[in-house]
Amino acid sequence: MTTTRTADGGRAQPHATGGADRPLFLDRAVRHAAFALLVLAGLLFLVLALAVDGDYAWPLLVIAPLIAVGVVDIRQTVHAIRFNYPVVGHLRWIFEDLRPYLRQYIVEDDLEGRPYNRLARTLVYERAKGDEDAQPLGTQLDVYAQRYEVLVHSVAPHPVATEPFRVTVGGPQCLKPYSAQVLNISAMSFGSLSARAIEALNAGAARGGFYHDTGEGGFSPYHRMHGGDIVWELGSGYFGCRDDQGRFDPDHFAETARLDQVKMIEIKLSQGAKPGHGGMLPGPKVTAEIAATRKVPEGVDCISPARHSAFDTPEGMMRFVQQLRDLSGGKPVGIKLCVGQPHEIFAIVKAMLSTGILVDFIVVDGAEGGTGAAPREFSDHLGLPMREGLVLVRNALVGAGLRPHVKIAAAGKMTSAFDLAAALAIGADWCNAARAFMFAIGCVQSVKCHTGRCPTGVATQDPDRQKGLVVEDKAERVRRYQARTVHALADLVAAAGLDHPDQLEPRHLLHRRSPNEIVPIDRLYPFLKPGVLIEAPDATPYAADWAAADPASFAPRRIG
């Protein structure tokens, strides 16, 4: 409705207008034109079918349902788009569903996609399928752009290693150390991924001789089927080893942890995509299989608390580590976390020193990591990225003199051999990847993991959608992707004049700070000398956090 003024300044009667001062009746006619044409067409074919020939009724099979949709649109009061544009308003939701595919196949260039660009995904697809992965005509990267990175090579390259690189995990307190490959499958739970996806991943791990992390959802039957090495992750819900109140159950734990297939135990403190956040699997999604795997009641909401109940201090966590090691028969026990407050890392290190109990490994999960579903603010703005977290954990262990006994793994958007080499140069002993292995078994980054409508059967519990995921075929893709990526790492290591990736150092990784300056990574981050946090903590950038760290509490000490 608009009003106008008369020549003498008075107010004239209001009159109805539509968009752009169009009369309201005309505006409504434009908005309802498609629906009106459908109604007219329906009437026309109905008259022709009755008066001329019954074959004219066939178009009504399409037109009549569309008219019904339009009638519902006009009568509903939930969506303004549908009310104002009956029938055609549904195109908004159609294109919204198609948007991820249209964007990645038509709109984006090779370097624009998120969370993974087309070049990264294509590399995984090519290696998984056994296709040629060579790049023609040179790099697509701008080598003078800020943040461009390069691994320095040698004029005297070494022979390329022919055997997969391995790392022995298990400190002096471990009775059954494990020989891990440098690239393994990161934590992804049954329930988040489909049964067939879990099967394919584990079968691929068994064929390739690398490990498969269960995720906090428990050690499911699908993890067991093909015998691949397992790292059993224990989250705050203690799924698979809990009592009726959700507390840790030592007997249930020992029963599973002593199985030959379980090689290591990993205590999950937090994960990159949603650190500090608990979770809930709604009751209707807690199927009989999931209930049996997690040892929870079927059909009842399954809660993952934000923190552990088995310990509440760093020293308490060390005692829990020792309990798990004893119950498992001496297998390596480690922790996984996305680094947050630095003093907490130092508190964990001080707890190792005060109790004399060491973790065997620490997995640093970057904030860039993925998950099936997380609050946007948590995914976008909580937790340290992998590199900053890795540097901090490396410095804490080195500075406290514990690095020779505690191994470090890194996880966070690993797809290529260069990603692995960069993390290893900064301080990791091995790397884990999750989404890259999802790509290997068919994920197309449709970003529908949280809906249950994954188009490739990877992240869904819908048995019909899983039918296209053939375990035998996808398992070989998992094996092939891992093997070819590790071989590419061997090529890089040899080109750098080295024999093993454990010889990579920060000086081997260069980072461009400006168009005319490229520097070693140790010019960007501090790298502490062994023992300096014990001998001279005030000489380090971590003096305040080290002083605030309390082995008896995760809360910081009050200083001054």
Residue 499 exposed, middle or buried by CB count within 10 Å (0-12, 13-18, 19+)? middle
What would the 3-class secondary structure string for 47-108 be?
Answer: HHHHHCCHHHHCCHHHHHHHHHHHHHHHHCCCCHHHHHCCCHHHHHHHHHHHHHHHHHHHHC
Cα dihedral value 280, 269, 249, 178, nearest 10: 130
Of 258, 260, 261, 252, the closest CA to residue 295 belongs to 252
**How many whole angstroms separate alpha carbon 209 and alpha carbon 482?**
10
- Over residues 511-532, the mean pLDDT reads 96
Distances (CA, A) of 461 to 237, 239, 329, 456: 21, 19, 35, 12
Q: In this prediction, what percent of the chain has a pLDDT beyond 90?
A: 74
Average pLDDT, the chain: 92
DSSP H helical ranges for 215-367? 221-224, 250-257, 288-294, 314-327, 342-355
Evaluate if residue 98 carries a pLDDT over 50.
yes
Which is more confidently placed, 522 or 8?
A: 522
Residue 267 has pLDDT above 90, yes or no: yes
pLDDT in tens, 323-360: 999 999 999 999 999 999 999 999 999 999 999 999 99
pTM metric for this prediction: 0.87
Rounded Cα–Cα distance for residues 304 and 143 (Å): 45
User: Is the model's pLDDT at 7 over the cut of 80?
Assistant: no
CA–CA gap between residue 74 and residue 87 (Å, rounded): 9
The angle, 0 to 180 degrees and rounded to 10, between the axes of the packed helices 60-75 and 33-51 is: 140
- Looking at 19-28, 295-304, 375-384, which range is the least confident one? 19-28
CA distance 500 to 82: 62
Give the 3-state DSSP-derived string for 491-557, with helices as H, strands as E and coil as C.
HHHHHCCCCCHHHCCHHHEEEEEECCEEEEHHHCCCCCCCCHHHHCHHHCCCHHHHHHCECCECCCC
Helix (H), strand (E) counts: the chain: 20, 15
CB 193 within 8 A of CB 459: yes
CA atoms of 325 and 334, how far apart (whole Å) = 10
- What DSSP designation does 298 have? T
- For the chain, give the percent of residues with pLDDT over 70: 96
383 vs 374: CA distance, rounded Å: 13
**At 5, is the secondary structure helix, strand, or coil?**
strand
Rounded mean pLDDT of 115-126?
93
Q: Write a three-state SS string for 360-385.
A: CEEEEECCCCCCCCCCHHHHHHCCCC
pLDDT tens figures, 479-490: 999 999 999 999
Q: How far apart are CA 103 and CA 397, in angstroms?
A: 44
Q: How does pLDDT run across 138-190, given as a tens digit for each residue? A: 899 999 999 999 999 999 999 999 988 999 999 999 999 999 999 999 999 99
pLDDT given at position 8:
52
Structural tokens at position 550: 């309390």
- Give the pairing type, strands 430-433 and 407-411: parallel
45: pLDDT strictly greater than 80: yes
- pLDDT the model gives residue 343: 97
Any alpha helices (H) in 427-470, and if so which ranges? Answer: 435-440, 463-466
Which pLDDT value is given to residue 405?
Answer: 97
Structure token digits, residue 558: 């009050």
